[in-house]
Structure formats: structure tokens, C-alpha cells
Amino acid sequence: MRLGEFFFLLPQLALCAAVLTACGNSSEQDLRAFMETERATQRPVPKPLPAPKPFEAVTYDEGGQRDPFNRISFAQSLLVLARSAKPTLATPELARTKEPLEEFALDTMTLVGVLSKSDGAVALVRVDGKLHQVRAGNYLGQHFGKVTKVEENQITLREIVQDELGDWVARRTTLKLQEKSK
């Protein structure tokens, strides 16, 4: 080791020795004595536990009530609640079976063309890479969209949506024919 390195390490070694001597036995004894006196002077005072309340057994009496765990009675009670509730614009829509095209949003649908048949116009709608025939009375989209009119360049729908106050309102929407650019 060179002399320059020795003189550089000498102050660091002296500092380490001074720090280690500060951690001697005498200061540890002082700390232990302080902790013992503090523990002796401060005792936690536990709050007394309240006396337990006596148990009162109660017998269950059906009293002509329906069994709440019976599926049939549960369905009947839901039906009674539904009938007593104030009917809204969406009540009949919620009760009917959904059609396959109601799974898709209107913006994912493309009106490809309209065919005129003897029993009315039929629109060809492309959804998810497949063509579907749509007539007046069918449902499209996720907002209870009922097709009211099929014209040669668009489909008119009546959708039922909730407004800002949570009330159901009807709105008119159109799905226009998408022409490809050449």
C-alpha cells in the first residue's frame, strides 16, 4: 500500500473507531434503565367489558306467509312488484325476447342495400362480416331500436334511451346506405 493511500484511509478509520466506541455498554445500560422506569410509570388501563346480554330464543311462526326460499313464490312476488310498478316506455321492450341484431351497436352496422319485394322492402345490413335481412318491425342496436320504415337509401328506427333524469324517452335514428367509392 502506498503512503498516500494510507494517509487517506487514516481519518476514515479514526472516524469508524469513534462511532463504535459511542455504542458502548454504558449507554445501553442507561437506555435500559430509562425504558424500565417508563414501563413502570405507564400502565394501560383496560376498559371493563360490558356484561353479556341474556339470550332470548324466538320461535318462527310462518303465519300464512310464503316461503321466501321457494323459487315459484319468489317469481310470483317479482311479478306482483312489476305489475304494481309505474309502467314506462321501456316496460314492453324489457319483457320481450331480444333479436340477434340487438347484440351489436348501430355504429358497427352498415346498410349495404335495399331489395323491393311484393311483401315490402327488405334491407341488407352487414354486421360482423355477415349479411342480415331486416324488415319493418325488426329490432336493431342496443337501445331497443325498432325498424319503423325501410326506404331505398336508409332505415328509420325508433330507439328508447334514458335521458339525464333517468326517464325513458323515444328518439328517431336513421341508418343510411353506405356507398363505396370507386
| pLDDT score for 85 | 62
| Domain assignment of residue 81, yes or no | no
| Domain assignment of residue 67, yes or no | no
**Cell numbers linked to 28:** 445501553
**Cell numbers linked to 182:** 370507386
| pLDDT score for 26 | 61
Could you tell me the mean pLDDT of each successive run of 10 residues in the chain, 182 residues long? 69 76 68 86 84 88 75 75 68 84 91 89 92 92 92 92 82 86 50
Length of the chain, in residues: 182
| Domain assignment of residue 53, yes or no | no
| pLDDT score for 51 | 92
Instruction: Report the alpha-carbon distance of residue 138 to residue 105 in Å, rounded.
Output: 15
Asked if residue 35 and residue 95 are part of one domain, the reply reads no
| pLDDT score for 155 | 94
Domains of the chain: total: 2
Helices (H), the chain: 3-22, 25-41, 71-84, 91-95
Q: CA-CA-CA-CA torsion for 91, 96, 97, 103, nearest 10 degrees?
A: -40
